[in-house]
Amino acid sequence: MTEPRLDPAHRARYARQIRLAGFGETAQATLLESHVLVIGAGGLGAPVLSYLAALGVGTISVIDPDIVELSNLHRQVIHTEAAVGARKVDSARERMSGINSSVDIRTHPVLLTAENALELLRGADIVIDGTDNFATRYLANDACEILGIPLVWGTILGFDGQVAVFDSRSGATLRDLYPEVPAPGSVPDCSVAGVLGPLCGSIGSAMAMEAVKMLTGIGTPLVNAVAVHSSLDAGWETIPVSPIPGRERVTDLRAHLVDYAQHTFGSESEQADGHGPRCEAKGRDLGPAALDWAQLGPEATLVDVRDDDEISAGMVPGATHVPMAELLDDPSRLPRPDAAETTDGVGVALYCRAGIRSARAAAQLRADGIAVTSINGGYLAYLSQAADRSV
């Protein structure tokens, strides 16, 4: 079988990888014809997207509703100081186009949800998950299982990281590695636990390599295995993962909505009406514990509970900023809206980046009889909603 012919520009650009034994023009041509979708343009997405563009992957889609903040730059090396305040997908596209202008880059500045996941992922040859929360990880995993698309997965925490390839067509998935979805807030993200930039580079580069192996057929991908990396001792350990016998396949995202509700306060049954649980304390109705942005009345008083360094890139217009730690230490800092002006029992609504911290803060304040609501999805959901309106 003869290898496909590449044009002179391709041979010149990709010469060092084409001449690799077992790679050649066949593998390069496959990359040029491939479509890789990356969820997240942050710490893991930055090296993944950079290397995919440099490798010559023909079409790269990136999903991320977030904007670039100053605190991102120590690890999200695809972004620059000049991009602070810009959408991450736009910043990533500019950098990737600068690396390789021949790549078709498609951007989606939206939050991945059960409503849009199948539409966004359909048509990709492989999906790479560079997100930082379990809700989106399980959603991506399940959507890939339904669509029959391999998923390259990576995660970091502290000084350690993990990489795996989940391919439901022939092997284990995230639900075989972690059958039980961790409770919201039980595992800290990097905004709480911290992270070093080079670890993102190590794990992200490994994820990009797994994608290349899956697309081109070279090497042995991490299917039915998870590689665990400890950056402090430079160690890698590969642990086998087997499909759980008899595990029911995921065929409908709607059957697993509770697993994607990490940004929601309360149980699935409590959220069934879309307004969250209501409770009474100290003789008064505290109203719903959680709402979506679309359910929030215009009279609600918004409080941004993110840290100081997180708001440099923007806030919801009209919101008051009170960092979560300061708010819980001194609840009197909450604005006091006129109850007569509120609708649906919502007076003060808290939001953070993704809805996790605001849900915890709301739970603590409500336990003390203070009527507050958490906004599902936080600032990312707000940005995603704004992006949908602009389309």
pLDDT in tens, 187-206: 656 655 678 899 999 999 99
What is the model's pLDDT at position 248?
Answer: 93
Q: What is the mean pLDDT of residues 56-60?
A: 98
* Residue type, position 259, single letter: D
pLDDT tens per residue, range 240-263:
999 999 999 999 999 999 898 754
Distances (CA, A) of 385 to 57, 194, 294, 295, 390: 30, 28, 9, 12, 9
What is the domain partition of the chain in residue ranges? 34-258, 265-390
CATH topology of domain 265-390: Oxidized Rhodanese; domain 1 (3.40.250)
pLDDT tens per residue, range 279-320:
444 445 678 888 889 888 888 899 999 999 888 878 999 999
**Which CB contacts under 8 angstroms, 24+ apart, belong to 273-280?**
275/344, 276/373, 278/345, 279/366
Q: Which CATH superfamily, name and number, covers 34-258?
A: NAD(P)-binding Rossmann-like Domain (3.40.50.720)
Q: How much of the chain exceeds pLDDT 90, in percent? A: 69
* Cβ atoms of residues 76 and 66 within 8 Å: no
What is the model's pLDDT at position 173?
Answer: 97
Q: Mean pLDDT lowest for which of 18-22, 41-45, 351-355?
A: 351-355
| Active site residues per annotation | 190, 352
What is the model's pLDDT at position 387?
Answer: 74
- The closest of 275, 315, 267, 273 to 296, measured between CA atoms, is 275
Cβ-based neighbour number of residue 309 at 10 Å: 13
Q: What is the mean pLDDT of residues 48-73?
A: 96
**Residue 160 CA to chain centroid, in angstroms?**
18
- Kindly report the backbone phi and psi dihedral angles of residue 286, in degrees, each rounded to the nearest multiple of 5, phi listed first: -90, -5
pTM of the full structure: 0.83
Task: Look at strands 59-63 and 151-157 and give their pairing.
Answer: unpaired
What does the mean pLDDT of the chain come to? 88
* Residue type, position 261, single letter: A
What is the model's pLDDT at position 189?
Answer: 61
- The closest of 130, 190, 136, 182 to 160, measured between CA atoms, is 190
pLDDT tens per residue, range 154-198:
999 889 999 999 999 989 999 999 998 876 655 656 655 678 899
What is the model's pLDDT at position 319?
Answer: 95
pLDDT tens per residue, range 72-121:
999 999 999 999 999 999 999 999 999 999 999 999 999 999 999 999 99
